[in-house]
Structure 1
Amino acid sequence: MSRGGRNEDRRGEILRAALEVISERGYRAASLAAVAERVGLTQQGLLHHFPTKEALLVGVLEARDQWDATPRESWRLDLLAALVDYNATRPAIVRTFSALLGESVTGDHPARAYFTGRYTVVRADMAAILRTAYGERLPSGLTPEQVAPLLVAVLDGLQYQWLLDPEAVDMTAAFRDFLVLLGEETPS
């Protein structure tokens, strides 16, 4: 294996370890030393791959996007339901993403720009999905651009509720209920 391949493998190990540490402790309480220890490196060795904690955080977020990558043009409302189903099988990733999202609303958080940009793209993607399903107006008369932030809010809000009380909130069933409200599915 080439040196570059080993380097990429090591970076992947570090990113997975960082995701675990952030999931357990939150970004602010996560330390580079804890991440380094999980992968058998010194903190200095970790800094060789990620020169700052902020660079590591951005690396984790970008890696998560890569792990979940689906061609944007292939998204449909029924695939969003499948994504909710999939997320219900991986609470650690959902918890990390949700924790970082919550922390990022502070002005000085290093992931604020990432999430701001991500949500701009996600709202546009949701509008495109809605436009494909309904055209320029949903049955309510609202435009896809008006409904897109509401759709994102439902997706993210269900994740928070599910993480807090998974016995009381069935994220998958609740999202399917939302699709019924949109007229996409029939009640079960």
Structure 2
Amino acid sequence: MASPGPDRVASGSPIPAKRYTKGDRTKERIVDAAAELFSKSGYLAVSLRDIAAAAKLTHAGTLHHFPGGKDELLMRVLERRDQVDADVLFDEHFDAWDHLGQLVRIIERNARTPGLVALYAKLSNEASDPDHPAHTYFRRRYEILRDHFAGILGELADGRFDPGAAAQHLLALLDGLQTQWLLAPDVIDMRARLMDFLALLGIDTSRWEPTSG
């Protein structure tokens, strides 16, 4: 869900929007470079010097902005993506149908952003190693998503299926589809296969007919 605009104080007066400094813009450039390199090569194959070169900075200059080095940058890349998805996935005002509709829209967006899909596919696989800096992040992320989708599907199950098991199947389906789609984007239709899965659960998918354009 998009932000409604500038925050306002109780009096109704707008709070001035944050002004980005040169340092802020440099940090964004570094994070952009890290995201692109991580998506192409994975976290393990990329060095901080690689990121610095891609951002057109020195190694020391990059460390100045991110003293935690590559680990800190990895978490910044992941957190930035999560800020976008959290707004559309976890809005407490949505009912189960709305939440599934938001999932459909995220799948549509992912089909337009292969770099981000590749980033998550590579990092989630690497992070299965307990020593990986994103291991705890991905473990917790899957816990949250399983609980979230189990709750949503539970509202629509009507006793036809186990919501917890269906949530695990759903996440496995999405992960597997993303990998197949990265390998053969002209063959794999992630949205259509998600619709097939929901239909197998007995969920009416007619409300999410593809939009034109």
Q: Same fold (TM over 0.5)?
A: yes
SS in structure 2 of the partner of residue 69 of structure 1: helix
Q: Pick which of 112-121 and 160-169 moved more.
A: 160-169
After TM superposition, list the pairs within 5 Å mapping 1:14-93 onto structure 2. 14-51=30-67, 52-71=69-88, 72=90, 73=92, 74=94, 76-93=99-116
| CA distance 1:173–1:2, shift in 2 (3 Å) | closer
TM-score (normalised: structure 1): 0.87
| CA distance 1:59–1:122, shift in 2 (3 Å) | same
AA aligned to 1:169 is I
Deviation at 1:156, TM superposition (A): 1.2
Rounded to whole Å, the distance in 2 between the matches of 1:80 and 1:184 is: 14
String of CA shifts for 1:16-67, please: whole Å, max 9, x gaps: 1100011111111112112112222111111112222111111111111123
AA aligned to 2:136 is A
Superposition CA RMSD, Å: 2.3
5+ residue gaps in structure 2?
1-16
After TM superposition, list the pairs within 5 Å mapping 1:55-134 onto structure 2. 55-71=72-88, 72=90, 73=92, 74=94, 76-134=99-157
| CA distance 1:179–1:88, shift in 2 (3 Å) | same
String of CA shifts for 1:123-153, please: whole Å, max 9, x gaps: 1111122123336x3x23x2x2232111111
Aligned equivalent of 2:13:
none
Query: Residue 8 in 1 paired to residue 24 in 2?
Result: yes
Query: Higher relative contact order at CA 8 Å, sep ≥6: structure 1 or structure 2?
Result: 1
AA aligned to 1:42 is T
Identical columns (%): 41
SS in structure 1 of the partner of residue 142 of structure 2: helix
Contact conserved, 2:181 with 2:189, CA < 8 A, in 1?
Answer: yes
Rounded to whole Å, the distance in 1 between the matches of 2:77 and 2:49 is: 16
Q: Pick which of 166-175 and 90-99 moved more.
A: 166-175
Rounded to whole Å, the distance in 2 between the matches of 1:3 and 1:33 is: 29
